[in-house]
Amino acid sequence: MGNLMRIRLLQAVPVLVFLVASTVAVSLDVVTLPAGTGVGALAVAADGTAWFSAQFSGAVGRVNPSGRVEVFEFPSRGTQPFGLALQTDGTAWAADLAGERLGRVGLDGKVTEVPLSRAGGEPTGISVAGDGVVWFTLPAANRVGRRAADGTVREFALPEGSEPTGIAVGRDGVAWVAERRGNRIVRVSAEGELTAWPISTPNAQPDAVALAPDGSLWATLTNVNRLLHVSPDGSQKEYRVEAAPLGVAVGKDGAVWFGAPGARRLGRLDPDTKKTTWTELPESPMALAIGSDGSIWVALGSGDKLARIVPKA
């Protein structure tokens, strides 16, 4: 069901920052997953359990702190879980790119499918608010969805051709969305009010997003080899990096981590010093997430391996 939105369009002029690169010492452990897993996204629970979406095998899985791997298949055939997010209690939610549904995986491993009313939307990004409200993107339908705690689903229309992908929800319950083709960052309230900031760099193709502890947003600009920082007031700053970034996560210290598949590296940007450091990886990073202990989980190569990286002091 569609809903009209009040729209505010704000123009922001970004500042471009050039970064100095160096390498950083880390410890790295690799976990091998079942062949054909195809990790699409990662999320780390408070207890250190790393959850992953298995887009090639129609499942959601987890690796507990002791290294045990469990995989929970969707009941329906032909599913392609892609986006992944966790509730505060550790329950996992996945967006099924192919099956027009969301999936909920309880702590006991039980998978509950939540069908969506709109066909062809291709659910991609997903994020869960502290109160259990689930937000998700429908890039093929140019819409953002919101599933309330009582199960009620509303959809909010974005401009034609905007292609919303990455999504993150703040502590205030407002969703931040990257429009890959619309070349904008937008915020959507629970009532459907939309505030949009165009990205000044043309065809930047924003994709993954992550919220920082201070409430600001970071986004990957994959087509122009940059990271974008958006303050709560909409002011922007762009940081040029050496390779196209894929995936982004922000630590408690405000450091920004991102993957660089073309260079087989994991990058860490310190916004205060404007310095980026790099970790060499055995294979290309395809998705990443950060744990509460500061460790970084990365999906490698075709998505059949996970690496846990602990930066050394």
CA distances from 105 to 59, 101, 286 (A): 10, 13, 23
Number of domains in the chain: 1
Burial class of 108 by CB neighbour count within 10 A (0 to 12, 13 to 18, 19+): exposed
What pLDDT does 115 receive? Answer: 93
What pLDDT does 13 receive? Answer: 41
pLDDT in tens, 51-75: 999 999 999 999 999 999 999 999 9
Distance of CA 131 to the CA centre of its chain: 19
The token pair at 277 is 């450091």
Task: Look at the block and give the residue holding tokens 């929800």.
Answer: 169
> Does residue 161 fall inside a structural domain?
yes
Task: Look at the block and give the residue holding tokens 């990886």.
Answer: 281
> Does residue 176 fall inside a structural domain?
yes
The answer to whether 79 touches 101, Cβ cutoff 8 Å, is yes
CATH number of domain containing 47: 2.130.10.10
What HEC string does 164-215 produce?
Answer: EEEEEECCCCCEEEEECCCCEEEEECCCCCEEEEECCCCCCCEEEEEECCCC
Domain span holding position 194: 7-311
Q: How many CA atoms lie within 13 A of 212 on its CB side?
A: 18
Rounded to 5 degrees, φ, ψ at 67 are: 100, 0
Task: Look at the block and give the residue holding tokens 């900031």.
Answer: 197
What pLDDT does 36 receive? Answer: 95
Distance of CA 178 to the CA centre of its chain: 10
Hey, CA dihedral for 220, 232, 213, 150, is it positive or negative? Answer: negative
Query: H or E stretch including 154?
Result: strand 153-157
What pLDDT does 14 receive? Answer: 45
> Does residue 1 fall inside a structural domain?
no
- Name residues of the chain where pLDDT drops below 70: 1-25, 313
pLDDT in tens, 72-129: 999 999 999 999 999 999 999 999 999 889 999 999 999 999 999 888 899 999 999 9
What pLDDT does 4 receive? Answer: 32
Alpha-carbon span 96 to 193, nearest angstrom: 26
Q: Which residues contact 182 (CB under 8 A, 6 or more apart)?
A: 158, 159, 161, 162, 163, 164
> Does residue 2 fall inside a structural domain?
no
